[in-house]
Amino acid sequence: MKYRDALPFTQVRLMRRVGISCPPVGLVGTVMPASAPSGDNQLLVAWHDWDKGHTGNCNSILLESACGWWVDASDLEMADGP
Protein backbone atom coordinates (compact mmCIF):
# COMPACT_ATOMS: atom_id res chain seq x y z
CA MET A 1 0.00 0.00 0.00
CA LYS A 2 1.23 3.52 -0.72
CA TYR A 3 1.32 5.98 2.18
CA ARG A 4 -0.75 8.52 0.22
CA ASP A 5 -3.59 5.95 -0.15
CA ALA A 6 -3.97 5.48 3.61
CA LEU A 7 -6.38 8.23 4.53
CA PRO A 8 -7.46 8.49 8.18
CA PHE A 9 -10.11 5.91 9.10
CA THR A 10 -9.22 3.66 6.14
CA GLN A 11 -9.61 -0.06 6.94
CA VAL A 12 -6.32 -1.92 6.41
CA ARG A 13 -4.96 -5.45 6.83
CA LEU A 14 -1.44 -6.35 8.03
CA MET A 15 0.37 -8.34 5.31
CA ARG A 16 3.64 -9.28 7.07
CA ARG A 17 5.11 -9.47 10.55
CA VAL A 18 6.66 -6.16 11.58
CA GLY A 19 8.22 -7.00 14.96
CA ILE A 20 8.37 -9.43 17.85
CA SER A 21 5.26 -8.29 19.72
CA CYS A 22 3.41 -6.84 16.74
CA PRO A 23 -0.18 -7.56 15.69
CA PRO A 24 -0.69 -10.90 13.93
CA VAL A 25 -0.51 -11.04 10.15
CA GLY A 26 -3.98 -10.77 8.59
CA LEU A 27 -5.41 -8.61 11.37
CA VAL A 28 -7.65 -5.72 10.27
CA GLY A 29 -7.38 -2.23 11.75
CA THR A 30 -8.21 1.42 11.18
CA VAL A 31 -5.67 4.08 10.19
CA MET A 32 -5.74 6.87 12.76
CA PRO A 33 -5.08 10.58 12.09
CA ALA A 34 -1.69 10.91 13.81
CA SER A 35 1.78 12.26 13.09
CA ALA A 36 4.48 9.61 12.79
CA PRO A 37 7.23 9.76 15.44
CA SER A 38 9.81 8.56 12.91
CA GLY A 39 9.70 8.00 9.20
CA ASP A 40 7.28 9.61 6.79
CA ASN A 41 5.83 6.26 5.75
CA GLN A 42 4.65 5.25 9.26
CA LEU A 43 0.92 5.01 10.05
CA LEU A 44 -0.74 4.59 13.44
CA VAL A 45 -3.26 1.77 13.15
CA ALA A 46 -5.89 0.94 15.79
CA TRP A 47 -6.13 -2.83 15.43
CA HIS A 48 -9.48 -4.59 15.86
CA ASP A 49 -9.54 -7.39 18.47
CA TRP A 50 -5.93 -6.79 19.63
CA ASP A 51 -4.80 -5.01 22.80
CA LYS A 52 -1.09 -5.68 23.19
CA GLY A 53 0.06 -2.40 21.63
CA HIS A 54 -0.08 1.13 22.97
CA THR A 55 -2.57 3.96 23.39
CA GLY A 56 -1.16 6.26 20.72
CA ASN A 57 2.41 7.33 21.55
CA CYS A 58 1.91 10.63 19.77
CA ASN A 59 0.70 14.15 20.39
CA SER A 60 -2.30 14.11 18.08
CA ILE A 61 -4.43 11.19 19.32
CA LEU A 62 -5.07 9.04 22.37
CA LEU A 63 -6.65 5.62 21.85
CA GLU A 64 -9.05 4.18 24.44
CA SER A 65 -7.22 0.84 24.65
CA ALA A 66 -3.75 -0.49 23.91
CA CYS A 67 -4.69 -1.39 20.32
CA GLY A 68 -2.32 1.00 18.55
CA TRP A 69 0.78 0.06 16.59
CA TRP A 70 2.92 2.12 14.19
CA VAL A 71 3.31 0.30 10.87
CA ASP A 72 5.03 1.14 7.61
CA ALA A 73 2.45 1.65 4.86
CA SER A 74 4.23 -0.93 2.67
CA ASP A 75 3.30 -3.63 5.24
CA LEU A 76 -0.43 -2.97 4.77
CA GLU A 77 -3.13 -3.61 2.20
CA MET A 78 -6.63 -2.22 1.92
CA ALA A 79 -9.14 -4.40 3.79
CA ASP A 80 -12.45 -5.45 2.28
CA GLY A 81 -14.16 -5.25 5.66
CA PRO A 82 -13.68 -6.00 9.36
Distance in angstroms (rounded) separating the CA atoms of residues 44 and 24: 16
pTM: 0.81
pLDDT score at 38: 66
**CATH for the stretch 3-78:** 2.30.30
Which residues have C-beta within 8 Å of that of residue 75, sequence separation ≥ 6?
A: 14, 15, 16, 18
Domain ranges of the chain: 3-78
Give tens-digit pLDDT for 8-28.
Answer: 888 999 998 877 778 899 999
